[in-house]
Amino acid sequence: MDYLLFIAGFFLVIYGANFLVDGAAAAAKKLHVSSLIIGLTIVAFGTSAPELVVTVLASLNGNNDIAFGNVVGSNILNVLLILGVAALLSPLTVHKNTVWKEIPLALLAALLVFLLGSDVLIDPAYLSQSIPKSSALPTAGILSRIDGWVLICFFMVFLYYAFATARQGIEEGVNTDTDEVATLTAKKSALYILFGLTGLIVGGRWIVNGSIQLSALMGLSEKFVGLTIVSLGTSLPELATTVVAARKQQSDIAIGNVVGSNIFNTFLILGAGAITNPIAVNSFGQVDTLVNIGSSILLFSLLFVGRKHAIGRYEGVVFLLSYVVYMAYLLYRE
């Protein structure tokens, strides 16, 4: 039964996000909110809703390893696994200047998490505070509420940049897909929003509780479950979107979806989790942040610095092999 609830939780969260997005977008359209705002807020939130709900609920329950592992694990999976699979389907090349500019920001986000979570390197006395820990491993640092607000501030800067860039694109006559918003009655929109929020909250709780029980039954750490199973489940919307975009040879959408998701995950979701409840980061967690930085540097070197600004099938294989090696490392350290 625990396994069934755990699996059902992912379906509830994903479908709940879809219902919430459709209902909120339709309601916003009725209130004459521009498609630009709908696209950059409601629709963008939809793909990140699973990670947000799971991370905040896990943080609220004091399950630091699940909260932190879900975000970092999702970021690593997005780059190495999802882009690796997408590159095998069709070589990915950056064409739009917008996506190209966001890649360094994703790298900055990865570096910032490492720095904020490395209190022991900056001020060892800071760790003497009475902060609940989720494991017996040495604590490398704590993502405090102040750190959470720092991440949220970076997210607001990113959101302002995204609004400005999107508005410039509209002024230049660039068409957007956000005009295709379903027309729903006010009652139906309210029901969609209600069902969506219910699915997100209930599904999120099932995932968090199921993760704890799964780790206990299988003798695995909560961090391992968060970095692997939970991160894969919450990244299913990104996986589906990126694979479909790659098959249609829409490279900018495929890459932009992953880069944007990683920025959202780090600045908004991890920030919200830290504000909800300070997140203790142990020594293994710091290793995972270094892997996150490494995958971001790999993406940066190929798409931002590289001459071709592309991820070919050969690079896709390298990405996938790197993810396999990382999974093997996680199993080894268990």
Question: Which residues are within 8 A (CB) of 129 and not within 5 positions of it... i.e. 6 or more apart?
Answer: 142
Confidence (pLDDT) at 121: 57
Does residue 45 contact residue 253 with C-beta atoms inside 8 Å? no
What value does the mean pLDDT take over residues 284-295? 92
Count of other CB atoms within 10 angstroms of residue 195: 17
For the chain, the structural domain boundaries read: 2-333
Instruction: Tell me what pLDDT residue 124 has.
Output: 53
How many whole angstroms separate alpha carbon 252 and alpha carbon 292? Answer: 22
Class of domain 2-333: mainly alpha
**Predicted structure pTM score:** 0.81
Spell out a b/e string for 1-36, using b for 16 or more CB atoms within 10 Å of the CB, else e: eeeebbeebbebbbebbbbbbbbbbbbbbeeebebb
pLDDT tens digits, residue range 86-98? 999 988 887 766 5
CA–CA dist 204, 52 (Å, integer): 9
Does residue 77 contact residue 62 with C-beta atoms inside 8 Å?
no
Rounded distance, CA 186 to CA 78, Å?
36
pLDDT in tens, 216-255: 788 888 888 888 888 888 887 778 878 888 888 888 778 8
> What is the rounded distance in angstroms from the CA atom of residue 63 to the CA atom of residue 222?
8
Residue 176 sits at φ, ψ, to 5 deg, of -120, 150
Closest CA relative to residue 252, chosen from 110, 98, 106, 104: 98
